Amino acid sequence: MLEVLLATSLLAAAMALGFATLRAAAATAQRGEAIAERNERIRAVSDFLRRRIGGAQGVVFELDPGTGASKRFEGDANSMRFVADLPDYLGRGGPHLHALGVGRGAEAGLGLLIDFRMVQAGQLVPGSAARPPEPLAEGLRQVRFAYRSLTGNGEFGPWEAVWEDPAKLPLQVRVQIVDGRGPWPDLVVALPVAGSFATLGDAQQ
């Protein structure tokens, strides 16, 4: 009888240890999947933003109603607008106004949203939205944009929360995103058109 009880106790202990090991392995696998999913999400969003922002063309999309000045790039800490070619897989292609902004998404927290509208002859085409504004990422805690250009000495200036000259493009745009697990790596995008465009703009003033 004692041997049966001892064997049963040992079996129960072994089963408990086995179940604990399985639970720990399952939890580790779930954490690994969550990390891999987050990394893939960061990569996909960062690649999309790098291509869209880096493709800004300096095309006029609006005239200031008060001054008549051309608007080619608008940006503050929570939004930015610029013109770039729309990829064929998102619509009919061609120059479209890209409007990036921070708002409330379907999930809890903030969402990084994007909207596209066709531009022709320096004007937005009415009713030209390729699709409704869509979330690039949701469940975020913070999204911040910043901009910088060259100083008079030819050096990079400080990062600014507001782009003050809508007639020109910044040389670099920085995107900072924080989700529930912490900050994403800073995304810094160079605008190749900005340098030559700024020179042309200065010559025309």
Q: Where are the domains of the chain?
A: 58-202
Question: Model confidence at 9, in pLDDT bands (50, 70, 90)?
Answer: confident
Largest alpha-carbon pair distance within the chain? Answer: 102
- More confident of the two residues 105 and 14: 14
pLDDT at residue 73 tops 60: yes
Most confident range, picked from 4-13, 149-158, 175-184: 175-184
Question: Model confidence at 182, in pLDDT bands (50, 70, 90)?
Answer: very high
Q: Which residue from 122, 126, 133, 127 is spatially nearest to 83, judged by alpha carbons?
A: 122
Answer whether 0.85 is exceeded by the pTM: no
| pLDDT value for 188 | 97
| pLDDT value for 8 | 76
Q: Which two tokens stand for residue 96?
A: 């479209």
Q: How far apart are CA 145 and CA 192, in angstroms?
A: 18
| pLDDT value for 202 | 42
187 three-state secondary structure:
strand
Q: How far apart are CA 32 and CA 38, in angstroms?
A: 10
| pLDDT value for 203 | 38
Pairing of strands 95-104, 79-85: antiparallel
User: pLDDT tens for residues 128-175?
Assistant: 665 678 889 999 999 999 999 988 888 889 999 999 999 999 999 999
| pLDDT value for 43 | 95
Question: Under 8 Å CB-to-CB from 92, ≥6 apart: which residues?
Answer: 86, 130
